[in-house]
Amino acid sequence: MTVLVRLFAAARDAAGGAGRLDLDLPDEATVGDAWTELGRRFPRLAAFPLQGLAVNRDYAETEQPLADGDELAVIPPVSGG
């Protein structure tokens, strides 16, 4: 299956500037599987906490299954005052 990954702010920078990419995953993959694959491809991205992952615009847990055509957004933590 193919999942569209959207990367924002520092996550985009950690992935070499790619704001979006297609990620091929095995059937029955989960959000956690996608995160592992992204970390393998982009080691700097692996340092981000998992709190900022959303599937089809809803925040998601790592156990959530993915389906072909889903959109996975990687949103880095927000800081500031």
* Pair type for strands 71-74 and 20-24: unpaired
Which CATH number do you get for residue 27?
3.10.20.30
Question: Is residue 62 in some structural domain?
Answer: yes
pLDDT in tens, 5-35: 999 888 898 888 989 999 999 999 999 999 9
Question: Is residue 12 in some structural domain?
Answer: yes
Question: Is residue 80 in some structural domain?
Answer: no
Q: How far is 33 from 65, CA to CA, in rounded Å? A: 9
Question: Is residue 81 in some structural domain?
Answer: no
At 81 the pLDDT is 55
The percent of residues in the chain predicted with pLDDT above 90, rounded, is 65
Q: Which residues contact 49 (CB under 8 A, 6 or more apart)?
A: 77
What is the domain range of residue 59?
2-74
Question: Is residue 28 in some structural domain?
Answer: yes
pTM: 0.88
